[in-house]
Structure 1
């Protein structure tokens, strides 16, 4: 972990230096713009005093052009500054992650919490202090959603996991690729906003705008109106200048040939045309404006992805979605759309109100938008899915980069099996205590007894999270790990539901019912049951547990059960028993309790409940 930490610290220093330089550059450009404006104004006053009218006109034009150019440079500097700041933040968060400060990260995936899911709620896949909060580097909606699906859906087969593993191993050393992809996504707007509206809008087409005859009529009319309006404008300006400067400058005859009422008439006609179905056009442009910034980010992210050459089959299949039949890249197609949407977004100024009646910009922008939709829109959702997939893969490959000692699990076929050596909880950092595990056909069920706080629940979560990581194609926190593909079910975090009038015991029964149903349907199940049937009396708990364990111990199922009922340990003596006893224990030193969190064979021989009662002030002899 030392090497990744040093790399992040080095990159943080680098981007901090670049950020300061960029900020200084931007500040200088701002000062230069002010200086140009002031000097230009002073020069114009001098030219006016000395009646240098030709120089006056030239200086006005020059100052305006220069100010616009400096504004353009300043915008590019601001964009670059934002991007560098994002890269700086990526490395800063990476350092916090390795230092164990990831629990403060804002995106904990709480929007994905589902208390009815087979296992995600019990194992804290989402929410505070969750697996998602620890590993996620995706920032687009589709990236976050894709990572959520990978963590909560059973993989189809071992080949899909192996293909994803290959992609992750290829991405792991490409730190610049991963960080830039994250930095681009980090500055996107509305990260949690579902782009369904955007997808639907791009799939829709307003055919009434795209009739060729109408398009040519609109274009010709706009050109004629623009030319005649320009001549009228020049005549008006010349007239005002003659009055202002007290001169008598005349224009060439070409500017006087067109009567003033023609452009006024044409503009009036176009104003009437602009009223036709205006509501639909304005709505169309409003959507383009709304997603303008995000489309620009998508374009940048796709351009970044396309620059890299990968070899893994998994990523190569993704790349096929990024080129059309003419071999034009997705970023190239989206570049054109981004320019259109940027133009639309600039309509929030007075100049638009003046130019729209003359040029009918409203119509031409809609034509451009709809033309692009027909040509490229059908592939847009696929492109965004590729971005999401690459973000999810980058999140997983970052785990491998940050934890070089972790191993890639082996996914095997055959009867249900899980074996691990020195397996630890991925989220516990240096505090973790590792244990080994061997579950298979001969002893598929582990019955774990032990004192309160001795580590039973943590061990089950350790198994569950490493299984989830293995199925995601990620490295696992172990020295050796192999498993088959099985359906994971848990029953660990149970509470009353007063709204639905459900007690904690009944809520537990409902969860166990799902496990039993899955087993009866022929699925190979891995079940994790914490403190089984703790919400009822000891007799019913004991009887129910024995029956359930025997029912779930059929061939193909694996399970870990924790309990305080030491009598259940006697199941090992039953005929054809598939249960094996394990326990966690504590020890005392100078009237203080300590735990080693090491898994041991057999039934627990220690108890700490009485000791904890004494700590609570209960008088026990």
Structure 2
């Protein structure tokens, strides 16, 4: 199936390249036509002047401006289409790279890296080579934050199921979701949050303007026009016209700083808002089947039956008008009709009526970006499963052929695991590099995926709604004067505290208390496990210490033993990375030390 997906992306990429070439040809043609019209217009204007056809000269100039403007508009439209297909080609190319496990063009979520989080650091949820870096398709900062939030903790069963159906729908609707990604690609890795200044502006209270000025601004274009026409017949009205011009200049100057401040905050948002408007329109025009997508689309319905996409497009137009008013031509319009003040009042009125609606629209866009991110797994790896959420009293984590999603399918080894409405602590022993740590991360990261509503890398999976807690990469800190052992104690304390204060917590511990001597390590590990049993805690402890495996005899109803081993073939180690029941009997540390010249060969033979 992945071959079919790859072929689809490649085919679409070729289609995009053909469209780009087609529009580039159109752009070149219209560039030539613009030059031709300009040269022809100058020549004809010169001819009309030569023959003293003044009236024809004015008509010619008027037609030249109209024709040139039409050509510019047409060429701009072709440029917009070419840019769109370039973005769409990038989207398809990125999916091909994702299948090959190459660099994703979207954020890897490094900003969310947190060593104190219950599991995100140990399970590689954020950062380089992370789960977030693999699945993220969010271009906007809002979408990135939304997706990160979904991966930081489990959702409720109802929300998980809603997301699952939405992900399935989006995963099958490739044309729509790639169009949506292409429209929002402009925001990807932008130098700054594209919407930050906009919402900063929207949150600033509006300075109330005098009611007489609002009325004056509304009627001044008509008054000015009537005065100009009247002065043609009644010359004394020129005095009134002069007064209007001077008064308009004074009023414009009084509002100049307010206008400049508004333009500095949102002046560059016009084109950006057009993109957002197009993305919103794409959501509203689609006939959604899943409950979550329908709910999100309904949230985009604005006031007075005006769709938010239309309202945002209108806002974009107002910003363009304000920016135009700061040009030389705009200066004339300010004299005639107080253009900038008119646009400022319109923007502030829009702000008052649509502030909350715009926030909601961005939240909907973020939700769709997060859903599309999760759906990338469903599209690219259709063999992965959606987990069933178990609500029984005890803990459930059942998986068939579960593998680590960050390891390519040809390299990873899948395993089965069964915890069926039970309270158990599993002890996993095994040789170095046999797969213990990877298996713990496999269970953890797939549970995170399952409880976010995404597909899991397994043939089938059933899991309780629970919080994962990991104890794996314990590091010292010179800045905080924290030793490895102290860091381990802090992590264990955090686990105990979480067990006291949270609901279901499933722990994954990899080689606890490694920062002390072997005697204290065993005694401490044994005490920790017995403390966890006393608190009815559930999880897995991976260790090299075979004495820990002996706890099964003392707690046969609570502790289970599993192991990963190696096969020795003529001093060659063979790893099968398969989980087996019981205790490990084969270890390889001495052989590994011998290979790098530390452990004497004869000593190894004696051992």
Question: TM-score scaled by structure 2?
Answer: 0.93
Q: Note closer, same or farther for the CA distance 1:449–1:114 as it changes in structure 2 (3 Å cut).
A: same
> How far did 1:219 drift?
2.9
Q: Note closer, same or farther for the CA distance 1:503–1:253 as it changes in structure 2 (3 Å cut).
A: closer
State the alpha-carbon separation in 2 of the partners of residues 89 and 491 from structure 1.
39
Instruction: Give the alignment of 1:410-559 within 5 angstroms.
Output: 410-414=388-392, 415-430=394-409, 431-440=411-420, 442=422, 444-521=424-501, 523-554=503-534, 557-559=537-539
Instruction: Give the alignment of 1:147-546 within 5 angstroms.
Output: 147-155=147-155, 157-188=156-187, 190=190, 193=193, 195-209=195-209, 211-225=210-224, 254=232, 257=235, 262-347=240-325, 349-414=327-392, 415-430=394-409, 431-440=411-420, 442=422, 444-521=424-501, 523-546=503-526
> Any conservation in 2 of the 1:423–1:478 contact (CA below 8 Å)?
yes
Larger deviation: 352-361 or 169-178? 352-361
Instruction: Give the alignment of 1:102-141 within 5 angstroms.
Output: 103=103, 105=105, 107-141=107-141
Between the two proteins, the alignment pairs up a number of residues equal to 597
Q: Is 1:41 the equivalent of 2:42?
A: yes
Q: Note closer, same or farther for the CA distance 1:522–1:324 as it changes in structure 2 (3 Å cut).
A: closer
State the alpha-carbon separation in 2 of the partners of residues 319 and 131 from structure 1.
28
> How far did 1:346 drift?
3.1
State the alpha-carbon separation in 1 of the partners of residues 506 and 561 from structure 2.
17
- 2:120 is paired with a residue whose SS is coil
> How far did 1:359 drift?
2.7
State the alpha-carbon separation in 1 of the partners of residues 46 and 76 from structure 2.
30
State the alpha-carbon separation in 2 of the partners of residues 363 and 593 from structure 1.
79
> Any conservation in 1 of the 2:426–2:561 contact (CA below 8 Å)?
yes
Q: Note closer, same or farther for the CA distance 1:583–1:589 as it changes in structure 2 (3 Å cut).
A: same
State the alpha-carbon separation in 2 of the partners of residues 577 and 538 from structure 1.
27
Q: Is 1:580 the equivalent of 2:563?
A: no
Q: State the match for 1:88 in structure 2.
A: 89
> How far did 1:261 drift?
5.2
> Any conservation in 2 of the 1:143–1:388 contact (CA below 8 Å)?
yes
> Any conservation in 2 of the 1:454–1:597 contact (CA below 8 Å)?
yes
- 1:322 is paired with a residue whose SS is coil
Q: State the match for 1:612 in structure 2.
A: 592
State the alpha-carbon separation in 2 of the partners of residues 194 and 567 from structure 1.
57
Q: Note closer, same or farther for the CA distance 1:345–1:465 as it changes in structure 2 (3 Å cut).
A: farther
> Any conservation in 1 of the 2:507–2:539 contact (CA below 8 Å)?
yes
State the alpha-carbon separation in 2 of the partners of residues 192 and 586 from structure 1.
51
> Any conservation in 1 of the 2:423–2:558 contact (CA below 8 Å)?
yes
> How far did 1:288 drift?
2.6
> Any conservation in 2 of the 1:188–1:293 contact (CA below 8 Å)?
no
> Any conservation in 2 of the 1:418–1:437 contact (CA below 8 Å)?
yes
> How far did 1:49 drift?
2.9
Q: Note closer, same or farther for the CA distance 1:497–1:225 as it changes in structure 2 (3 Å cut).
A: farther
Question: TM-score scaled by structure 1?
Answer: 0.91
- 2:475 is paired with a residue whose SS is coil
Q: Note closer, same or farther for the CA distance 1:39–1:107 as it changes in structure 2 (3 Å cut).
A: same
State the alpha-carbon separation in 2 of the partners of residues 56 and 279 from structure 1.
41
- 1:380 is paired with a residue whose SS is helix
- 1:561 is paired with a residue whose SS is strand
State the alpha-carbon separation in 2 of the partners of residues 520 and 375 from structure 1.
47
- 1:19 is paired with a residue whose SS is helix
State the alpha-carbon separation in 2 of the partners of residues 466 and 328 from structure 1.
42
Residues 81-133 of structure 1 show CA distances to partners (whole Å, capped at 9, x for unaligned) of: 111111111111111111222x3545211112122111111111111111111
> Any conservation in 1 of the 2:325–2:340 contact (CA below 8 Å)?
no
State the alpha-carbon separation in 1 of the partners of residues 335 and 479 from structure 2.
59
- 1:552 is paired with a residue whose SS is helix
Q: State the match for 2:605 in structure 1.
A: none
Show structure 1 runs of 4+ deviating over 6 A.
none
Q: State the match for 1:244 in structure 2.
A: none
Q: Which runs of 5+ in 1 are unaligned?
A: 232-251
Q: Which runs of 5+ in 2 are unaligned?
A: 603-607
> How far did 1:442 drift?
4.9
